[in-house]
Amino acid sequence: MNLQEFLNAYRAFGKAEWENVVEGANKDLNLFDETLYALAAESEKRTPVIKRALVEHHPEVARYRRRIEDFEGYPKDDMLTLSRAMRTDVMKLMELRNMAAQNLGYHDYKDLDCEQSRIHEETIKDRLQEVVETHASKAEALIEKHKMTWESWFQDLRELTAFEEALNPQDIVEKVVETFGFTKLRDVLSIHQDEQGIAGFARKFSDRDIRIAGRIIDNASDLKTFIHELSHAILYAYNTPKTLDDFLLPANDEFLANLLETVIAKKVCTQTQKWMIQKVDTLEMIRMSLSGLFELDLWNKVKTPEERFVHHYERLMPIKHPEYWSLDSFRSVDPLFIQYYPLGRLAGKNMLVIIDQEGLEGTELGDWLYDHLINRATEIELASFL
Ligand SMILES: [Zn+2]
């Protein structure tokens, strides 16, 4: 198996996933998993991306993950019924991931992930706890003022930061290109918008074809998400693996997209947009950090997820049903990715301080980001930003 063969299978999978999620196609993704798993299994070199594929595309892992992501076959009468129905499968998925990681010689799946991100678990916990403390009082005030609940959270975020009219995504891309000089985006990027569609999605079909999908941008939450997907697109536009050792892994991808998103939002948004983004950010930072802390408890094999879920979230708001834990927001991304969102944003805020100190602006800043982050995305030491 060579790099090109694996890359082709990897992109074919990403393309099929895009077609299902964005275009409503009905491709059998299990077939793509099987191909990727078989290629990874026959690879002599156990590079990080090969190890990842041996877990994520393991037929059983993939089957459970997909069922949970798509809420496939569960009763969806209400959130409580759904969360109860999913509980066993969510636990089973964690067990399957652990087994697949153990086959590769790891203690569990979390160890594999920590090795790949090269951020120590204790560092992750400490930083997430700090984020919670930093944002708690402001977040509590916003939650109370806007009567936000766990159940209505994402809709609340949109409503409380609504714009008078929707923004044109092409204008945002052009502003980013003009500000930073990321001119490649003009040639390779296409945008799919959908009123009811998924919040955000980015895929690389080929070096010349990168796509992002998202909602109509009529509030600060969806503006932030659009800039987030655009940040993924920048990473994809300027990075193509040259060897099997050189893939952009989920930890680096998410961490750096969040970092770039924070810098880009600061430099291209208007004052009013920035003020609203700040609200979204305060609320998201704390919820994602609590979600990350809760999930680390889960991977450390707590016997009572319900109790830990309430323990973490009650810091923020009352939880009506502890059973909701199986629907926690990390489910909508992917287990063990959620912490890279708040950590990446924290790194973005740290980086903005350096950028200001150095007096970097415009294309000079764009070049600097390219040299320090974008061009080194696969090898970069994430922990050095925290
Ligand atoms: Zn992302």
Residue 23: is its pLDDT beyond 80? yes
C-alpha dist (Å) from residue 315 to 14, 64, 97, 170, 290: 38, 31, 30, 40, 9
Mean pLDDT of 32-46: 95
The answer to whether 84 and 30 are in contact (CB under 8 A) is: no
Residue 333: is its pLDDT beyond 60? no
- CA 311 from chain centre, in angstroms, equals 24
Report the separation in Å between the CA atom of 255 and the middle of ligand 1, taken as the mean of its atom positions: 8
Give me the pLDDT at residue 195, please: 79
Report the separation in Å between the CA atom of 228 and the middle of ligand 1, taken as the mean of its atom positions: 6
Report the separation in Å between the CA atom of 342 and the middle of ligand 1, taken as the mean of its atom positions: 11
Rounded CA separation 352/355 (Å): 5
Angle of CA points 293, 298, 303, to nearest 5°: 130
Residue 299: is its pLDDT beyond 90? no
- Partnered with residue 19 across adjacent β-strands are none
For residue 332, name the pLDDT band (cuts at 50, 70, 90).
low
Give me the pLDDT at residue 330, please: 60
Report the separation in Å between the CA atom of 383 and the middle of ligand 1, taken as the mean of its atom positions: 18
With a pLDDT cut of 70, the percent of the chain lying above it is 98
Give me the pLDDT at residue 69, please: 84
Residues 359-382 have pLDDT tens digits of: 999 999 999 999 999 999 999 999
CB atoms within 10 A of CB 120: 11
SS3 of the chain: the string is CCHHHHHHHHHHHHHHHHHHHHHCCCCCHHHHHHHHHHHHHHCCCCCHHHHHHHHHCCHHHHHHHHHHHCCCCCCCCCHHHHHHHHHHHHHHHHHHHHHHHHHCCCCCHHHHHHHHHCCCHHHHHHHHHHHHHHHHHHHHHHHHHCCCCCCCHHHHHHHHCEEEEEECHHHHHHHHHHHHCCCHHHHHEEEEECCCCCCEEEEEEECCEEEEEECCEEEHHHHHHHHHHHHHHHHHHHCCCCCCCCCCCHHHHHHHHHHHHHHHHHHHCCHHHHHHHHHHHHHHHHHHHHHHHHHHHHHCCCCCHHHHHHHHHCCCCCCCCHHHHHHCHHHHCCCCCCCHHHHHHHHHHHHHHHHHHHCCCHHHHHHHHHHHCHHHCCCCCHHHHC
The structure's pTM equals 0.95
The answer to whether 180 and 366 are in contact (CB under 8 A) is: yes
Report the separation in Å between the CA atom of 232 and the middle of ligand 1, taken as the mean of its atom positions: 7
Report the separation in Å between the CA atom of 47 and the middle of ligand 1, taken as the mean of its atom positions: 23
Burial 275-309 (b: 16+ CB within 10 A, else e): ebbebbbbbbbbbbbbbbbbbbbbbeeeeebbebb
Give me the pLDDT at residue 252, please: 95
Rounded CA separation 310/10 (Å): 38
Cα end-to-end span (Å), the chain: 37
Residues 226-285 have pLDDT tens digits of: 999 999 999 999 999 999 999 999 999 999 999 999 999 999 999 999 999 999 999 999
Residue 168: is its pLDDT beyond 90? yes
Rounded CA separation 49/51 (Å): 5
Backbone angles phi, psi at 205, to 5 degrees: -80, -40
Mean pLDDT of 31-40: 96
Report the separation in Å between the CA atom of 44 and the middle of ligand 1, taken as the mean of its atom positions: 30
Report the separation in Å between the CA atom of 144 and the middle of ligand 1, taken as the mean of its atom positions: 29
Give me the pLDDT at residue 97, please: 93
Residues 180-224 have pLDDT tens digits of: 999 999 999 999 998 777 889 999 999 999 999 999 999 999 999
In 3D, which of 96, 108, 90, 45 has the Cα closest to residue 247? 45
Report the separation in Å between the CA atom of 229 and the middle of ligand 1, taken as the mean of its atom positions: 6
Report the separation in Å between the CA atom of 153 and the middle of ligand 1, taken as the mean of its atom positions: 19
What is the pLDDT of the chain when averaged over all its residues?
A: 93
Domain boundaries, the chain: 1-117, 121-286+338-385
Residue 334: is its pLDDT beyond 70? no
